[in-house]
Amino acid sequence: MRIPDFLNRCSHHPPVLRHSEAGRVMLAGFTMTVIADGYWPLFPYDGTMSTGSRMLTLLTLFQNHRFWTGDELSTKLRVSPRTLRRDVEQLRDLGYPVETTRGVGGGYRLSAGGSLPPLMVSDEEALAIVLGLRAVTASGVQGVQDAAVGALAKIVPVLPMHVRKLAAGIGSTVGAGQARAGAPQVEVAVLASVATACRDRTMLAFAYEKRDGALSSRLVEPHALVPVARRWYLVAFDEGAGGWRTFRLDRMRGVESLAKSFGSRPIPGGDADAFVQSSIRNLPTRYEAVVRVEVPAEDARAEVGQWGVVLELEEGWSEVRMRTDDLDYVVYLLAKLDARCEVVGPPELVDALRAWGRRLLRVGLPEEADAPESLRRCQT
């Protein structure tokens, strides 16, 4: 492609272009290597491509096609076969498994495994990656949530602004399939910003929405992100309060990462997960539900999790204690346990159980006479 033709094209099209031609052009001190059916990465121009630029181009070529002949690669990079072999050897030293095929039609192939090469993706592909990672953060799959947040922290900051806005817009309307019904959603940008601040140890400023809806300004040292029951919590040292706090990410507004770093500070107890769970259990709540259930303590703990305390009683019974503002969740938990139970308190829990019993009775059995004996007892 001639430079005048290239300049003419740039005057009518956005600077990010795709084209099926192959070649090189030089514009304003930069050289642009045109890769067949791919993107046009820019490298500083000094008359020849640097070794680093050639290696990035090689990795990009291997993304588009697994196998290339030596002549094809030498032509695209405009280097001698000897220089090509030296570049391939450097890729191997970096951990990229480049295989050599000798003989007629021989060449190079990037095999599976080894280090993941730099990826070049379109805006649409980047959007799909961000939305997919967001779904993983809400999936409850242990072992991958932290990895998904780390990936978001790397990807979101380098996205074009229009892609970031599109991801936020779609993410607010499309929920993760496995997310708990009614669970508050966290914006992708907020999750990525907080994760990045934890990684880089930079201060965060934001407004935090309290339980009554009031907002308070916070300046914190972010230390760790902890997922608990489809919610994300930030463990941070609050400079204003002079102590450690936990913050729900869905209640953080106007999150801003500041150009101010902070030093290492040990989390109380040395365990971020335990700190969050302890904070949740000690939150002031409207009710403290106490129920005795005919279930072994080990089975009850498996259902209650971090949301309550289970005490072992005699003869296969357990006592479940939960602090909550939502008695409907206690009703749901007791239904999951599917066992005989005795409500110790509060009286509002008895009312909630009876209300749900009547509600369920009306849904499937309009006439009380048609209800089995076990369901009719729910009304008493």
How confident is the model over 201-253, as pLDDT tens digits? Answer: 899 999 999 888 899 999 999 999 888 767 889 999 999 999 999 999 999 99
Q: Which of 118-122, 137-141, 311-315 has the lowest mean pLDDT?
A: 137-141
pLDDT, residue 17, reads 32
pLDDT, one tens digit per residue, over 12-70 is 333 333 333 333 333 333 333 333 333 334 333 344 678 888 888 888 788 767 788 99
Q: What is the CATH number of the domain that holds 252?
A: 2.30.30.520
Statement to judge: residues 215 and 77 lie in one domain: no
**Rounded to two decimals, what is the model's pTM?**
0.52
Statement to judge: residues 296 and 217 lie in one domain: no
CA dihedral (77, 81, 87, 93) in degrees, to 10, reads 150
- Out of 43, 76, 110, a domain closes at 110
Average pLDDT, the chain: 76
Over range 311-333, report the average pLDDT: 90
Statement to judge: residues 15 and 52 lie in one domain: yes
What CA–CA distance (Å, rounded) separates 233 from 277? 10
Q: What is the CATH number of the domain that holds 27?
A: 1.10.10.10
Statement to judge: residues 247 and 184 lie in one domain: yes
Domain that holds residue 186: 123-281
- Asked whether residue 104 is assigned to any structural domain, the reply reads yes
Contact 248, 231 (CB under 8 A): yes
pLDDT, residue 89, reads 93
Query: In Å, what is the CA distance from 11 to each residue of 4, 8, 14, 53, 245?
Result: 11, 5, 8, 26, 53
- Out of 83, 110, 137, a domain closes at 110
- Nearest partner of 223 among 236, 207, 238, judged by Cα: 236
- Checking 176-182 for CB contacts under 8 A at 24+ apart, the result is 176/134, 176/135, 176/136, 176/137, 176/138, 176/139, 177/135, 178/138, 178/139, 178/140, 179/138, 179/139, 179/140, 179/230, 180/229, 180/230
- Asked whether residue 117 is assigned to any structural domain, the reply reads no
Statement to judge: residues 138 and 247 lie in one domain: yes
Statement to judge: residues 11 and 131 lie in one domain: no
- Asked whether residue 353 is assigned to any structural domain, the reply reads yes
Is residue 123 scored above 80 in pLDDT?
no
Is residue 7 scored above 50 in pLDDT?
no
pLDDT, residue 116, reads 60
- Out of 260, 281, 302, a domain closes at 281
pLDDT, residue 189, reads 80
Contact 301, 323 (CB under 8 A): no
Into how many domains does the chain fold?
Answer: 3
109 CB neighbour count, 10 Å cutoff = 14
Is residue 356 scored above 60 in pLDDT?
yes
Statement to judge: residues 271 and 143 lie in one domain: yes
Statement to judge: residues 254 and 328 lie in one domain: no
- Nearest partner of 27 among 50, 48, 52, 44, judged by Cα: 44
Over range 175-195, report the average pLDDT: 65
Query: In Å, what is the CA distance from 199 to each residue of 25, 182, 231?
Result: 39, 30, 20
Q: What is the CATH number of the domain that holds 307?
A: 3.30.70.250
